[in-house]
Amino acid sequence: MKKKLGPYSPKWQPLTGDVIQTHRLDSLPNDVCKEYKGLPIVICTIGKALKNKNRLSFWSCALQELRKPSPTKYSALLDKEYKNIALSYEYLKDEELRKTFLISSLIENNTSISDLFKHVVCLDVFGRANLTMEEARLRLDKLVYNLKDACLLLDGFKNGQFAMHDVVRDVATTIAYVDHYVFTTRNDVEQEWKNKDKLKKCTKIFLLDNSTIISKLWPNDFDCPNLEYFHMTKMWNSSFKIPEDFFTVMPKLRVLNLVRLQQSSLPSLIHCLTNLQTLCLRNSSMEGVSIIGKLNKLKVLSLQHFNIKEFSTEMGQLTQLRLLDLSYCCHLKVIAPNVISKLSNLEELYLEACPIQWKIEVLEELKLLSNLVSVELEIKDHKVLPENFFSRKLIRYKILVEYWRYPYPKISEQECLMILKLMINPTIYWEKLCGIKNVELLCLTEYEDDDDEDEDDLEHSKFNLQSNEITPLFNKKV
């Protein structure tokens, strides 16, 4: 660091707070700063970790930690500067922050917080039990914010995403392995993966980029009786096909996330996963998924971009399900009757971009789900809308009725939690419109029988209104 930073430097104060000016600290902040050797990410993380710590002991202990030789457990990967970030992790004040940080380090940059939620919600990350999905989401959002404030996470490319500096990620994955036996592709296959004693202690496995590690270990060297979390991506190009008895070696598994899985069906012995609470099969393809109905402890089921054609009767056995995501299942046309109504604990339902041929009795079942607070769906035929369908209050929703000709969201739309887009005849459906509650963005387009109507004419239709223009139509606050 070319310029010496004294204890009263304005560069320190935004990170550490007013305590930096306390005379009792003397030269300690300056001495701590010398140990950073100019690495900006370390200056930020340690500075935030010691923010508003006005006791001499905090700064003295931090300086002692920084001056110690790198611990043996980090020596293979981390140099001295990296160790400083590990110290920032040690200063995280609660276990929820630590767990969220370590899981975040496994996930690629620019992942949405909503996707991160699926990874953590069933892993006992949150200290308080019996949280609703909405309460857990709010809790996670706060944790991610605090980690960003501590410079351990960064903003992602888009709003609602997060990222992590490569240096911080190296530290995090090392801590995760040493302290919690979390295995990734970074671990040496011969020395660590083939150490059966360590593998038996493994709690999480996260494999990316067509990893062949499992193929090298299965079946003789792969036994994970304490595994709670298994994530494997890009399986479409992998030579490894999940064998029938694969899941028998991981009886404690709680979260299973497989991306681009391409095989005829799931192993029949998947029902042995009696503790499984989260199942995500994104961008996967197989003939049938009825066996999923046997996983009766599932709380989260995500089949985004799956080739499923029917949400069958067997799915009605998932009575503990709280989150169901079938978004972008472009072949999904049928939801069997008397299935949705059996998912009595469902709180979140996502059916965006699904060409479902809705029947009025199936939509009526949604009204029976008393815990439902978040919904995304598209209804291609306005004639199947049940009475009072819009009357219930939801915390977040995105509902499209009829063929909506403007698929790309406006910038302002990305910030809205409650979006309703309707293409209907407002004269005939006046009562339905008046039943709408708590809308942030309401878009109306006049319904026409003429399929050849010019798109420009629709754009200038008197019913093509935005939320700030709806007062003349409803003559009341919406």
**How many Cβ atoms sit within 10 Å of the Cβ of residue 14?**
11
- CA-nearest of 224, 284, 215, 204 to 243 is 215
Q: What is the pLDDT of residue 191?
A: 81
In angstroms, the CA 255 to CA 368 distance is 28
Q: What is the pLDDT of residue 5?
A: 40
Q: What is the pLDDT of residue 66?
A: 58
Q: How far lies 295's CA from each of 37, 159, 275, in Å?
A: 53, 34, 9
Q: What is the pLDDT of residue 335?
A: 95
Residues 97-101: what's their mean pLDDT?
94
- CA-nearest of 445, 466, 467 to 456 is 445
Q: What are the start and end residues of each CATH 1.10.10 domain in the chain?
A: 95-169
Q: What is the pLDDT of residue 402?
A: 78
163 has pLDDT over 60: yes
Residues 218-235: what's their mean pLDDT?
90
476 has pLDDT over 90: no
**How many Cβ atoms sit within 10 Å of the Cβ of residue 458?**
16
pLDDT band with cut points at 50, 70 and 90 for residue 279: very high
**What percent of the chain stands above pLDDT 70?**
69
Q: What is the pLDDT of residue 189?
A: 77
In angstroms, the CA 346 to CA 349 distance is 7
372 has pLDDT over 70: yes
Residues 193-211: what's their mean pLDDT?
89
137 has pLDDT over 90: yes
pLDDT band with cut points at 50, 70 and 90 for residue 390: confident
383 has pLDDT over 90: no
Q: What is the pLDDT of residue 342?
A: 96
pLDDT band with cut points at 50, 70 and 90 for residue 74: very low
- Six-digit token pair at 83? 């160790």
Exposed, middle or buried by CB within 10 Å (0-12, 13-18, 19+), for 407?
Answer: exposed
Q: What is the pLDDT of residue 69?
A: 46
In angstroms, the CA 379 to CA 429 distance is 15
| Most confident range, picked from 35-39, 233-237, 297-301, 466-470 | 297-301
Q: What is the pLDDT of residue 141?
A: 95
- Six-digit token pair at 5? 């930073």
pLDDT band with cut points at 50, 70 and 90 for residue 345: very high
The 10s digit of each residue's pLDDT in 177-186 is 988 999 998 8
The 10s digit of each residue's pLDDT in 19-35 is 444 545 556 666 655 65
| Most confident range, picked from 53-67, 122-136, 139-153 | 139-153
Widest Cα–Cα separation across the chain: 80
Q: What is the pLDDT of residue 97?
A: 94
The 10s digit of each residue's pLDDT in 283-294 is 888 877 889 999
Give the bridge partners for 154, in sequence order: 163
- Six-digit token pair at 262? 């391409």
The 10s digit of each residue's pLDDT in 241-264 is 888 999 999 999 999 999 988 888
> Which residue has better confidence, 236 or 1?
236
E strand residue ranges, 365-439: 374-379, 396-401, 418-424
Side-by-side strand order, sheet with 348-351 = 182-184, 204-207, 229-232, 255-259, 278-282, 300-302, 323-325, 348-351, 374-379, 396-401, 418-424, 441-446
The SS3 assignment for 13 reads helix
pLDDT band with cut points at 50, 70 and 90 for residue 273: very high
Options 1.20.120, 1.10.1660, 1.10.10, 2.60.40; CATH of 95-169:
1.10.10
Residues 227-246: what's their mean pLDDT?
81
Which of the 8 DSSP states describes residue 190? I
In angstroms, the CA 245 to CA 231 distance is 18
433 has pLDDT over 80: no
> Which residue has better confidence, 57 or 177?
177
The 10s digit of each residue's pLDDT in 308-330 is 999 999 999 999 999 999 999 99
Work out the mean pLDDT of the chain and round it to a whole number.
79
pLDDT band with cut points at 50, 70 and 90 for residue 463: very low
